[in-house]
Every structure is written in C-alpha cells, then in structure tokens.
Amino acid sequence: MPSVLIVGAGFGGIAAAVELRRAGLTDVTVLERSSTLGGVWRDNTYPGAGCDIPSPYYSFSFEPNDAWPLRFSLGPEIMTYLARTAKKYGVAPRYGVTVTGAEFRAGQWHVSTSQGSHVADVLVPAVGQLSEPHLPTLPGTFEGPAFHSARWDHSVPLTGRRVAVIGTGASAAQFVPHVVRQAAEVTVFQRSAPYVLPKPDVEYRRWQHHMFPLERALFWGVGEVAALGIQGNRPVAKAVAALARHHLRRQVADPRLRRALTPDYPIGCKRVLFANDYYPALTQAHVRLSTDGIATLTPKGVRTRAGTEHEADVLIYGTGFRTTDFLSTLTVRGREADLSQTWSDGATAYLGMTVPGFPNMFLMYGPNTNLGSGSIVYMLERQARYLRQAVALLAEGKSTLDVRPEMATAFDREMRQRLADSAWAGCRSWYRTESGRVTNNWPGMVSEYDRRTRTLSPSDYVVTS
C-alpha cells in the first residue's frame, strides 16, 4: 500500500485524509504546523468570524451535520464540525510539525520538517490559499498595538479606544460591526468599495434541520447561477448588482457615504460580500470611512494622501492574504526543478492538482480551484476523490504518476483564455498576480469541475510501473 503524507490539517488536508481512510488506506500521515486542526477557521478568531456559505452546503456530503444552529455558521461551530469529522474517520494529525521542504528522489518524496524527516510515496500539500497574512508595506511606523485580522490579538482592549481599520474585504465586513460596538471611534480605510448583498441568515428551528438536503441543493444551484454571472452572463450580473445597490440604498441614507460605498468596478470582479450589519456600522456617528488613500503610518495613527492624520490607539489590518504565493512556506523540488521556478510566471496545475515533473504530488485547493460563488468544501471533496483514485492506481503496483506536460499546458491555456473573459479580469483582487494573471480561481461552474475530476484518466499521466 502506498504511503501518503499530507501537509496541513485544514479542510483540505482533512478532506484528503478522510477520503483515503474511508477507502481503507492506513498509511496516511497528516502534519500540521499549528497545535490544532482547522486551518483558516483556527487562525481567524476575529469577532464575528464566520462563513458566508450556508452550512448545509459548507460541509462534506458524506458527513451532514443535522444540527447546524445557524445558516451561516460562526468559526467555532465549523471547527467543532471539522474536529468531529476527523475523529470519526480516525484522522489524527501530528501537531507542531512544520514542513519546510520536500524533494522527489529515487521514486519517493523526502520531506523535511521541524521534527526530522519523512519518506512517503505520495505528497499532498494542503496548505490553503489564505493561510499567510498580507501586511502591506506602508511607510512610517505606528507606535500602538497593531495586528492582522487572522492573527487577532485578543489581549488588546478595544472598548472606549480609537481604532483604525485598513481594508474592506470579507474579513473586515465581519469584524468591523463588532469593533464599532466597542470602540469610541473607528476609522475604516477603504481602497475599493466592496459589493455587499443581504445575508439571508436564520437561526434554524428543529424542523428545518430536516430540510438541510434541500437547502444544500438550493444553495448549490444559487452558486451555479452566480458563477454564470461571473463568467459574463449579463442578466445575472445585472440582477445581482441591482440587489447590491438596493441593499446600499436601503441601509445608507447619507448620499456622500453612499457614493463612497459604491463600487467602481464590475460586480464579481472581487469577492461579493454578504452582510446585514456592515453598512449600518459605517453610518454610526463615531465611525468614519476614509477613501483618500493612505500616505503613511504615523506614530499616532494614519495619514491620508489628502494630508489628514487620523489618530488611533489600535490599528487592525484587514488586508487579506498572500494568495498568489502558492506553497511559499516550503521548498518543493521535483524531478528537475523547484516548484517556485516552475511557477515563476504564476502557479498552475492540471485540474488544479498535478504539476509535470512533480510525480505523485497532488495539491488540495491548488491553483485555479477557488470559487467566486459556491462551497470550497465541495471542490475539496472532488480533489480528494481524484487523489483516492491516484493512490488506488499506485496500490495496483504502479510506482509513479506524472502528469503529461501537454495535458498541463493545454489546461493552463484553457484556464487563461476563459479567465481573461471573466469578471475577474476587470480589476485588482486577491485572485490575480501582479502581472494580472488569475491564478486562484476556477473559471466554470462547480458541476463542470465535478465532471472533469470524476474519473482519473491514466492516459493523462506518464505512468511508470
């Protein structure tokens, strides 16, 4: 039986390990640098951290949770679900082990870690796309406490203090209302206005738990229709943009603030947010929205390009993640090259999972597998299924599977073409590299990904016995 080493115990790593365990594979090791599983759900402890994909859909198909309390679960609930699932399927990650590198040598992966080395037949990097915080390099120094949303410093009191927030993405939209409730003054520095939609949250009644399969199917369908909008379907995009405008009009009366909160790029280009309390928070008397652009940090706050210094006691970065630096925390060496060299023009992988010259390596949540709508858990399940088939082939006596370069090149060409026509091509976002390549997102519907990854075709690979 092949041995499998999985790097990371977030949703991706757990999805992979559970799938292999369910298929009867026993030699599966999960290494996790942190002290618990959970990935982004462990790291993001900011107030209000939760999922804006409905929980019946943001869960494994084989492990429905009959008792989600809210349609849009909060982080701790999701962590509990993931931990319970891992335990049920006998997945016990080894914690506090940081993988620093992996090299394919003599037909196996030689993996170096902070706790020694491992050898495995199959390597599964599952380190996520949103695990390394992005801290902008702004000139100047702020002397007060400062932290990133994914490294929330709960020891810093916010009550009665002046708080500056940089960034207005999905994280900020969730924590800003909580900060506004505590702080004496809040200044939110917005570089681009997000599109915000109403969040149809509900506290589930008991009888609704029986409806979860229906909800799952319904939100799957909603995600698929929304994906059409991102792919350029005008009526869908127009309808969603109209709903966002309506939400803004209903929640923000002040025309100046409304103007400042109106996005100036096509809908879908950046991630659309779902929030009922974000706009109302910004209308509070003690909250300011600054759109002048940040010139510099100062010891006492933030100075804008208009020359105004906004004093603050605490600075919070809601500035996102180093998303296009796939696998940047480890050095991966294939047959002939390092992955960083192979990906010098941006990360790419066949079906988001395999890279020529890196045999028996299967990525979870790799390049071009993120979604603008829909559940990542659904995608991860498809990747785990594909991985399971690869491992089954190896178990039959094959020794390596190396994706054919022509398959990977054709796939990459297709991705580039389709993404160039999508809404994501229209603005700066965490989906794109500096040079404008969309390396993170899947350009189609999830049903297409499901279909294309359902059966691993050995002819796509150079298979050695």
**Which residues here bind ligand NAP, judged by CB under 6 A?**
50-53, 130, 136, 149, 166-172, 174, 189, 191-192, 270-271, 294, 318-321, 428, 430
Q: Two tokens at 133?
A: 């915080």
Question: Crossing angle of helices 212-230/446-453, nearest 10°?
Answer: 100
User: Count of alpha carbons within 13 Å of 232, Cβ hemisphere only?
Assistant: 9
Q: Two tokens at 239?
A: 């309808």
Residue 75 C-beta: closest distance to ligand NAP, Å: 9
Question: Crossing angle of helices 212-230/234-251, nearest 10°?
Answer: 110
Distance CA 215, CA 68 (A): 12
Choose between 247 and 388: whose C-beta lies nearer to ligand NAP.
Answer: 247
In sequence order, the 6+-apart residues with CB closer than 8 A to the CB of 123 are 5, 7, 102, 104, 109, 111, 332, 360, 361, 362
CB 139 within 8 A of CB 303: no
User: Count of alpha carbons within 13 Å of 197, Cβ hemisphere only?
Assistant: 19
Choose between 270 and 382: whose C-beta lies nearer to ligand NAP.
Answer: 270
- Of the candidates 107, 277, 105, which has an alpha carbon nearest to the alpha carbon of residue 201? 277
Residue 371 C-beta: closest distance to ligand NAP, Å: 9
Q: Two tokens at 89?
A: 């399927």
290 membership: H or E segment, kind and range: strand 287-290
In sequence order, the 6+-apart residues with CB closer than 8 A to the CB of 32 are 8, 9, 13, 93, 94, 95, 96, 97
Q: Two tokens at 159?
A: 């009550």
Residue 461 C-beta: closest distance to ligand NAP, Å: 31
Choose between 270 and 333: whose C-beta lies nearer to ligand NAP.
Answer: 270
194 membership: H or E segment, kind and range: none
Distance CA 25, CA 208 (A): 36
Place of tokens 């519907």: 445
Distance CA 223, CA 396 (A): 38
Choose between 34 and 174: whose C-beta lies nearer to ligand NAP.
Answer: 174
CB 159 within 8 A of CB 236: no
Choose between 78 and 408: whose C-beta lies nearer to ligand NAP.
Answer: 78
Residue 169 C-beta: closest distance to ligand NAP, Å: 2
By Cβ distance, which residue is nearest to ligand NAP?
169
CB 189 within 8 A of CB 167: yes
Residue 261 C-beta: closest distance to ligand NAP, Å: 12
Choose between 178 and 191: whose C-beta lies nearer to ligand NAP.
Answer: 191
Residue 125 C-beta: closest distance to ligand NAP, Å: 19
Choose between 168 and 342: whose C-beta lies nearer to ligand NAP.
Answer: 168
Choose between 136 and 221: whose C-beta lies nearer to ligand NAP.
Answer: 136
Choose between 32 and 52: whose C-beta lies nearer to ligand NAP.
Answer: 52
Choose between 3 and 290: whose C-beta lies nearer to ligand NAP.
Answer: 290
Q: Calculate the CA 433 to chain-centre distance.
A: 16
